[in-house]
Amino acid sequence: MATTPTTRYDVAEHLRTPEEMAAYLEACMEDADGDAAFIAKALGDIARAKGMTQVARDAGLSRESLYKALSGDRAPSFDTILKVMGALGLKLHAQASQN
């Protein structure tokens, strides 16, 4: 039986426009089920798509600390989330739940 070669899918390669980035983050926030590390990982994907060095500079963070904060291994502080979202050109907004 022949095997099919595969490559790892990297969503960052497909996030090209601010609208695609915002839609991706929105979808991740809906699926996160309260998991802040999952949201941080999604922000990390978007930051990689934009360029980590520039995002770190715009957020006022070191590149290394940005990688750690957005690795998905832990939940970064809300302050860091807000800085990164600002650097990415994204806004956080609230909406009433449909319960």
Note the pTM of the prediction, 2 decimals.
0.87
pLDDT at 54: 96
pLDDT at 80: 94
CB atoms within 10 A of CB 52: 17
The label of the residue with tokens 């590149």 reads 63
| Cα–Cα nearest to 90, from 4, 21, 34, 17 | 21
pLDDT at 62: 95
Cα atoms in the 13 Å half-sphere on the side-chain side of 31:
10
Q: What is the mean pLDDT of each run of 10 residues along the chain (99 residues)?
A: 88 94 95 92 96 96 94 90 95 84
Q: How many angstroms separate the CA atoms of 26 and 69, rounded? A: 19
